[in-house]
């Protein structure tokens, strides 16, 4: 089962275009958002992003 917090983070990353912007909107650190997206990818066996490391900034 997918975690709803992680899905909300994914929505914000998609809406705002970066992990950093999503982190600011959700009051998390960019690192925390990145870690949660990595966990979501493991849980779903799908990639949450096609962007490279610059998307994490």
Quote the number of domains for the chain: 1
Rounded CA-CA distance 17/21 in Å is 7
- Does the predicted model carry a pTM greater than 0.75? no
Per-residue pLDDT tens over the stretch 40-56: 888 887 666 544 454 44
For residue 29, the domain's CATH number is 1.10.10.10
How large is the greatest C-alpha to C-alpha distance in the chain, in angstroms?
29
Structural domain boundaries, residue 50? 4-56
Portion of the chain with pLDDT greater than 90, in percent: 54
């Amino acid at each position: 089962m997918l975690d709803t917090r992680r899905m909300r983070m994914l929505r914000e990353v998609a809406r705002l275009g970066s992990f950093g912007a999503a982190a600011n909107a959700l009051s998390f650190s960019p690192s925390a958002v990145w870690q949660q997206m990595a966990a979501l990818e493991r849980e779903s066996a799908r990639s949450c992003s096609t962007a490279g490391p610059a998307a994490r900034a």
